[in-house]
Amino acid sequence: MTVNHLVDAHILLLRGTELLLSRRRSGDEFDGRWHLPAGKLEAGESATDAAVREAMEEIGVGLDPADLRLVHVAHVIGASRPARLGLFFETRRWTGDPENREPDKCYELAWFPLGALPDDIIVYPLAGIDALRTGLPYSEYGWDRSMR
């Protein structure tokens, strides 16, 4: 059996001790929950190029790939979703002011202190956020160990 994996680039935009989150507008079980700015890699695109593109598309900020630091990789599978690898990039440098550039996919953007994040963050990106504190480089979520 061939299993294809999606690859997502997630952006942890940090302002001092605050993290920028977006509240999803998705019409599914994640609607209204908090997430990081993120998106899937496109064909022929590097992970850092995807992070730069997604930051501009979703929140209107410019990133330099040299300012992105990989802090976590999450290997995730869900019951009705394809397996994916999430690459989480931290940055403290950008140009422009974050704004909601995709109101059809996002209700709002908000800054949260790292020590007081909202309770309704989607579990998958929370692994990358936690890596800022723990330094854990890799996690798995949703995998049935009997599949190995």
> Nearest-CA neighbor of 106 among 47, 142, 60, 53?
60
Per-residue pLDDT, averaged over 96-100, amounts to 99
82 assigned to some structural domain: yes
| Number of domains, the chain | 1
Q: Which domain holds residue 107?
A: 6-147
Q: Taking the CA atoms of 104, 102, 36 and 23 in sequence, report the sign of the dihedral they define.
A: negative
Q: What is the pTM of this model?
A: 0.92
| Chain segment 20-37, per-residue pLDDT in tens | 999 999 888 889 999 999
* Owner of token pair 């974050």: 98
13 assigned to some structural domain: yes
The domain that contains 133 carries what CATH number? 3.90.79.10
1 assigned to some structural domain: no
Amino acid at 31: D
- pLDDT at position 75 is 93
Give the confidence band of 4 by pLDDT, cuts at 50, 70, 90. Answer: confident
* Owner of token pair 């410019």: 62
